[in-house]
Chain A
Amino acid sequence: MNGWTSALRRGIGSLRKVSVFQWFLFVLMTLLAMFMLLPIVYLFNHALKPFYELFLYPPTFIARNPTIQNFIDLVVVTQSSVVPMTRYLFNSFVASFLVVLTSCLFSVLCAYPLSKHKFPGKGIIFSGIIISLMFAPEMVGIPRYFVISQLGIINTYWGHVLPLVAMPVGVFLMKQFIDQIPNELLEASKVEGAREHMIFLKIVIPLCMPALATTAILSFQSAWSTDETSTLFMENETMKTLPFFVNTLTNQLANNVANQGAAAAAALLLFIPNFIIFLLLQRKVITTMMHSGIK
């Protein structure tokens, strides 16, 4: 907390030395930032509103009597049904965790030789990755289903994890990042007798932590909020994830307000992990992006 206030004070302190243009900009950007955040603030408040406040007319924005009743409802309501909400939550956590872990590992493993080794087929592989960067995986959802069913991983965690593991963006960002590591450094350690796997573990991985952080954020976001794997590859209700569950709550929401409280609470649950992860890693993200242009 202290760190935040002192950062803010320093921020305000540095504002004294700024021009009129910057003041104008400051006000403008603050208004815009507030506008962009409005729906998020609203989401928080909506999730905390007691039942009667959800249906007030005129509608209120800020919750007057915040309560966690919606969250309790969310858990209680589903407790009596076949699959409790906690099960969806658990599935989501397991699947996302595995996706982040494997996709980061696979991406950096693939990016290192692409950047620093010379071997036949490298050009083809890299241009394949670049091209796939342009394609949306959603477009090939149908054949993907057949691959998954041929592999026999329908209704297993594999079905949640494997389709999301290959992240061309991750490899691409990481490759550009590893390109920045001077070759001399790697050669020097080779002269000292370090083996490839030692170089990889002791030099490459620590140096590309920012890129790893970015990939982790991106893969977490895609894994945490996708309901595609649940709708397509999971027939068993107990194997589906939280986004799918929220979808079932919100599907008929277009023109009614019933269930809104629980839906907002569930949506907040979906949003918060994303937000926390970005908050923790965002400084590293910007560092990555500096080095990650297509060169």
Chain B
Amino acid sequence: MSNEASGAVPHPLARRKQKIVLLTPFIQTIKRHWLSYLFIAPFLITFILFIVVPTIAAIGLSFTYFNAIEAPKFVGWLNYRNLLTQDMVFWKYAIPNTFKFAVIVGPLGYIAGFMLAWLISQLPAKIRVFYTLALYTPSMTAGVAMAVVWLIVFSGDRLGYLNSFLLEIGIIDQAQLWTQDPKYLMNVMILVTLWGSMGVGFLALLAGIQNVDTQLYEAGKIDGIRNRLQEIWYITIPAMKPQMLFGAVMAVVGTLKAGQISVQLSGANPSPQYSGHLLINHIDDYGFIRYEMGYASTISVVLLVLTYIVSRICWKLFGSKEE
């Protein structure tokens, strides 16, 4: 065989070589960066296993009928159709309650967090620690400990602190069932959540405020800023945009994922007459009480999308220009 012929029809071995040549950049990059990948691997594996895979699986399951005993049956968009058109509890209670809860607790908690952080930063540095601790402590008791404290305050008999106090001063003439009466449950939930809402977001805001360059304030004074409100609006908030964003995202996620609170307070899921029924309770109801996992996953996916949209809005509002 002449050289020309072998040029026209490549030798099988040469062809394989070519394939390897195509693959080598890939292998080489892996090789070159193997240390980086090694560093990342432990986190990435657990992240994929326990966050990414479940999320994808939830999306997959949302298109099935699944009762946790038999294998999932593919049903297409049926769950979504049912959720959007037939689920009265979802439309009548879960969605309005979640929105009411989120709209009040989210922004209110966030604004309160910012204001408190600002007020703390106005105090002499040495005593700030005590106030930070006092405001952050409630968020540490979140969960079961909170139920113990608040259930006794809102206890339905005259031994409850609130009942006892209100009876004493004569505002009510008989004990109220604060956590069982649909009239009050939602308000009690909002109150308790607000009390415990000064968490990570609050710390970030506090640090952000303390981190603003003091020269900016002096420059602002020269530029004609007169009072503290102007100072906050024109200097503090723009200078700590990243922390504002972090706090906002945390607030949004925190309120949309809340749900345990109504169960803890009322002691039942669903709560009395669905008065404290939030989206998470709806998921729990279908997933772990009725074992309609497919449908529960559908609700989760809707909640995921909802959270993502709201977070994106926060990003737009507070995010820096480059985003």
A218 touches B144 (CB 8 A): no
Whole-angstrom CA separation of A241 from B202 in the bound complex: 29
Instruction: Kindly specify which of B11-19, B103-111, B152-160 makes contact with the partner chain.
Output: B152-160
Whole-angstrom CA separation of A125 from B40 in the bound complex: 10
A1 at the A/B interface (Cβ < 8 Å)?
no
B151 at the A/B interface (Cβ < 8 Å)?
yes
Chain A CB within 10 Å — which of B29, B133, B296 has the most? B133
A275 touches B49 (CB 8 A): no
A260 touches B144 (CB 8 A): no
B54 touches A147 (CB 8 A): yes
Which residue of A is nearest B134, CB measured? A33
A134 touches B47 (CB 8 A): no
Contacting residues, chain B, for A39 (C-beta < 8 A): 138, 141, 149-150, 153, 195
0 or 1 for each of A121-149: is its CB under 8 Å from B? (1 = yes)? 01001001101111111111111101100
B37 touches A119 (CB 8 A): yes
Contacting residues, chain B, for A266 (C-beta < 8 A): 148
A100 at the A/B interface (Cβ < 8 Å)?
no
Instruction: Kindly specify which of A72-80, A83-91, A104-112 makes contact with the partner chain.
Output: A104-112
Whole-angstrom CA separation of A138 from B46 in the bound complex: 16
B206 touches A11 (CB 8 A): no
B317 at the A/B interface (Cβ < 8 Å)?
no
Q: Which of A57, A138, A225, A279 has a CB less than 8 Å from the CB of B257? A: A138
Contacting residues, chain A, for B243 (C-beta < 8 A): 289, 292-293
Q: Which of B127, B208, B256 has a CB less than 8 Å from the CB of A289? A: B208
B187 at the A/B interface (Cβ < 8 Å)?
no
Docked complex: B129-147 residues within 8 A CB-CB of A = 129-138, 140-145, 147
Given A11-B124, A278-B136, A289-B207, A246:B145 Cβ within 8 A: yes
A136 touches B36 (CB 8 A): no
Q: Which of B29, B123, B133 has a CB less than 8 Å from the CB of A26? A: B123
Q: Which of B36, B155, B241 has a CB less than 8 Å from the CB of A257? A: B155
B233 at the A/B interface (Cβ < 8 Å)?
no
Instruction: Kindly specify which of B77-85, B93-101, B245-253 makes contact with the partner chain.
Output: B245-253
Which residue of A is nearest B168, CB measured? A58
Q: B-side binding surface: helix, strand, loop or mixed?
A: helix
Chain A CB within 10 Å — which of B120, B122, B157, B206 has the most? B122
Contacting residues, chain A, for B132 (C-beta < 8 A): 282, 286
B211 at the A/B interface (Cβ < 8 Å)?
yes
Number of interface residues of B (CB under 8 A): 106
Q: Which of B33, B40, B151 has a CB less than 8 Å from the CB of A250? A: B151
A36 touches B242 (CB 8 A): no
Give the contact-size bracket for chain A: 35 or more
B44 touches A169 (CB 8 A): no
B207 touches A286 (CB 8 A): yes
Which residue of A is nearest B130, CB measured? A33
Whole-angstrom CA separation of A282 from B137 in the bound complex: 11
Docked complex: A261-291 residues within 8 A CB-CB of B = 263-264, 266-268, 270-271, 274-275, 278-279, 282-283, 285-290
Contacting residues, chain B, for A154 (C-beta < 8 A): none
Docked complex: A51-107 residues within 8 A CB-CB of B = 55, 57-59, 61, 105-107
B124 touches A18 (CB 8 A): yes
A33 touches B131 (CB 8 A): yes
Docked complex: B172-194 residues within 8 A CB-CB of A = 177, 179-180
A294 at the A/B interface (Cβ < 8 Å)?
yes
Contacting residues, chain A, for B140 (C-beta < 8 A): 221, 271, 274-275, 278
0 or 1 for each of A156-175: is its CB under 8 Å from B? (1 = yes)? 00000011011011010000
A293 vs chain B, min Cβ distance (A): 2
Whole-angstrom CA separation of A160 from B142 in the bound complex: 19
Whole-angstrom CA separation of A165 from B155 in the bound complex: 37
A43 touches B149 (CB 8 A): yes
A132 touches B51 (CB 8 A): yes
Contacting residues, chain A, for B134 (C-beta < 8 A): 32-34, 36-37
A203 at the A/B interface (Cβ < 8 Å)?
no
Contacting residues, chain A, for B237 (C-beta < 8 A): none
Q: Which of B52, B200, B256, B257 has a CB less than 8 Å from the CB of A169? A: B200
Given A7-B126, A59-B161, A282-B133, A136:B256 Cβ within 8 A: yes
Whole-angstrom CA separation of A58 from B175 in the bound complex: 13
A171 touches B43 (CB 8 A): yes
Contacting residues, chain A, for B116 (C-beta < 8 A): 32
Whole-angstrom CA separation of A274 from B293 in the bound complex: 34
A36 touches B307 (CB 8 A): no
B7 at the A/B interface (Cβ < 8 Å)?
no
A247 at the A/B interface (Cβ < 8 Å)?
yes
B40 touches A113 (CB 8 A): yes
Whole-angstrom CA separation of A55 from B122 in the bound complex: 43
Q: Which of B35, B42, B180 has a CB less than 8 Å from the CB of A110? A: B42
7 A-B pairs within 8 Å (CB atoms) are namely A15-B127, A33-B134, A57-B159, A113-B36, A138-B259, A166-B43, A253-B147
Query: Which 10 residue pairs across A and B have the least CB separation, nearest first?
Result: A293-B242, A136-B257, A289-B207, A33-B134, A143-B57, A110-B43, A119-B33, A254-B267, A113-B36, A140-B54
Chain A interface residues (CB < 8 Å from chain B): 7, 10-11, 14-15, 18, 21-22, 25-26, 28-29, 32-34, 36-37, 39-40, 42-43, 46, 55, 57-59, 61, 105-107, 109-110, 112-114, 117, 119-120, 122, 125, 128-129, 131-144, 146-147, 151, 162-163, 165-166, 168-169, 171, 196, 200, 218, 221, 225-227, 243, 246-247, 250-255, 257, 260, 263-264, 266-268, 270-271, 274-275, 278-279, 282-283, 285-290, 292-295
Given A15-B127, A143-B53, A253-B151: 4 more A-B contacts, CB < 8 Å: A252-B267, A255-B267, A279-B133, A293-B241
